[in-house]
Amino acid sequence: MSAPPEIVDSHCHLDFPDFGGELDAVIARAHAAGVTRMLTIATRLRTEPAVRAIAEAHPSVFYAAGTHPMSVADEPMATVDDLVALARHPKMVGIGETGLDYHYTSDSAEVQRQSLRVHIAAARETGLPLIIHARDADADMARILTDEHRAGAFGCVMHCFSSGPELARAALDLGFYLSMSGIAAFPKSTSLREIFAAAPLERILLETDAPYLAPPPHRGRRNEPAYTAHTARVGAEVFGLDLESFARATSANFDRLFAKAARWRQAA
């Protein structure tokens, strides 16, 4: 039997307690499913040491760090210097996740916007891509990203993209990437799949957001990086490609955006 095509899980949370005690097995299952690399995300700067340790212990794992918008009201405000210092680590390859979430935490909208601008400044200074979480904040997100990009360019991925077509177009017009999660594989996500289908293939990434948002046939259960393969199959159908071609394209997109991870892999 031929080996599965190589794919990348560009966003997961391997430090979360959902994986406690079985992380080695989770990563092994990912490798068996063709997921050759994973990007695990620290959502609070105080968890960065634990996330960094996972990346240091596993050659196929890279990491990013930032303050999640739903946490900014409860965490010390990150500084550009904080993020720049963390980015010196050879396996820290992105800034975030950051962004805006007005669904549950609209009361902290102003501090979320402040934190987002700090992370953007750090992305500019380090040259690392920004990882954006956006929920029920499309207009503000499009405005801030556009204004800030005019002030100085930076790379960016709209992680777990599930917003509307207007934000998708604004992000694509800035040269940003859209990341396809298990949500895109849900049967009722027809309109979301149409947004992805209208985007250039060279701007698409894959992710799980594990332990959340497992795609069918695992929906409702704990997600894990191996399940990126299920979303990849749906993505291939959306773009009218065979799985191997879609996997190759999205992996090349990851290398283009997360160039530091690509360089580390080449040097290893």
Known binding-site positions: 11, 13, 97, 133, 159, 209
H or E element that contains 137? none
Neighbour count for residue 245 (Cβ, 10 Å): 14
- As beta bridge partners, residue 40 has 12, 63
Tell the residue number behind the tokens 């050759």, with chain if given.
36
Binding residues for a divalent metal cation: 11, 13, 97, 133, 159, 209
In angstroms, the CA 74 to CA 45 distance is 12
Pure H helices in the chain: 23-32, 48-57, 80-86, 109-126, 138-151, 165-173, 190-197, 228-238, 243-257, 259-267
Distances (CA, A) of 200 to 65, 156, 165, 188, 196: 28, 15, 14, 23, 8
Q: Which two tokens stand for residue 33?
A: 């499913």
C-alpha angle 4-184-158 in degrees, rounded to nearest 5 = 95
